[in-house]
Amino acid sequence: MSTTLSSPPLPPRALVLCLCLLVGGGALWYVLSGPAPATHEATRAVVIRPQTRAFDIARTLKEAHVIRSRFAFLAVAVARGTQRRLLAGEYEFAPGLTLLEVVRRLEQGKGLVHQVTIPEGFAARQIAEMLQARGLIDQERFMGLVRDRRLLAQYRVDGTSLEGYLFPDTYRLVKGLSEEAMIGRMVQRFTEIFGPAERARASALKMSVAEVVTIASLIEREAMVDEERPLISSVFHNRLRLGMPLQSDPTVLYSLSRFSGKLTKANLQAPSPYNTYLHRGLPPGPIASPGRASIIAALYPASSRYLYFVSKNDGTHAFSNTLREHDAMVRRYQIRRVG
């Protein structure tokens, strides 16, 4: 006769525990692998600010209907040990992403990147306006930091602002990056361009970095073709050596808030330290962000005796040694054209 062995029945408590584990595990699998709620029918854009806590990130994602459960999001982040390493940025979440995919995207910082080109010759105010229009910064805070003494000391800038040191280039920026961090990137790019060789050349000219950048900013605002930058630089250097006023229109424009149109005689008499018609020597500081070509031109002016230049209205200039020659060029290219 054979006997059949059978397992003893589970105690009631053990049975309940097994059922709870099965249900809980199934629920966790559904939360991890299932898509977001049905209300999430379109791609959602979410901005995570720097130093945002995981709890607040979870709340933001829940309110945007990207995730079902804040608790589940936190549980996954804690289990993966990344709750303190979720990266700031602007993210787009398509419908149907699993919770695990959402967490991984934040871990890897796979947010939207904005490619922004700062044009040569832009003043700090224009840069701030551009970045605010793209939704990347607060313009008022940005401009406050441009004049922040702590940052000036940090970057060893001799002056009252970082005007001229926000290097014009193409940057890959993300929403959520602080204004201070963006400024840092631009100033760091400037230090890469204005390196040891450029500093040594400035010393050979017996000029400070600030003086070179100031001349370069004038060149940037005056020149329209690269070939003329060294010639325009020579005019400024020659005038400085002779103690002549620079008489540069862009310096007057810089002191006039949001000016548009042609300068008048009254404008040229405007009482501003930046008015190089009234004051000899360089203005108090740069008036714009010069590019590398203008910086090199400021450091290596052409060898010339030119003291004057006037626009020929085609992007180029007529250069003169004497006031008489200059007056003739003005009559030829400006007065006659107006008449």
Residue whose C-alpha is closest to residue 141's, from 182, 111, 173: 182
Alpha carbon 275 to its chain's center? 28
Q: Which CATH class is domain 33-108?
A: alpha beta
Give the separation between CA 302 and CA 231, rounded to whole angstroms.
5
Distance between start and end Cα atoms, the chain: 128
Residues in Cβ contact with 127 at an 8 Å cutoff, skipping those fewer than 6 apart: 118, 142, 166, 186, 289
Highest-pLDDT range among 26-30, 118-122, 177-181: 118-122
pLDDT digit string, tens, across residues 187-245: 999 999 999 999 999 999 999 999 999 999 999 999 999 999 999 999 999 999 999 99
Question: Average of pLDDT values for 255-268?
Answer: 76
Asked if 224 contacts 316 with a C-beta cutoff of 8 angstroms, the reply is yes
Q: What CATH number has the domain spanning 114-193?
A: 3.30.1490
The residues pairing with 173 across neighbouring beta strands, listed in sequence order, are 114
Least confident window among 3-12, 68-77, 236-245, 259-268? 3-12
Q: Is the pLDDT of residue 86 over 60?
A: yes
Residues 115-152, buried b or exposed e (16+ Cβ, 10 A)? ebebebbbbbbebbbbbbeeebbebeebbebbeeeebb
Give the separation between CA 335 and CA 64, rounded to whole angstroms.
63
Q: Which carries the bigger pLDDT value, residue 74 or residue 260?
A: 74
Q: Is the pLDDT of residue 10 over 80?
A: no
Do the domains spanning 33-108 and 114-193 agree at the CATH topology level? yes
Question: Average of pLDDT values for 62-79?
Answer: 91
Question: Average of pLDDT values for 320-339?
Answer: 84
Domain edges within the chain? 33-108, 114-193, 209-306
Q: Is the pLDDT of residue 13 over 90?
A: no
Q: Is the pLDDT of residue 284 over 90?
A: yes
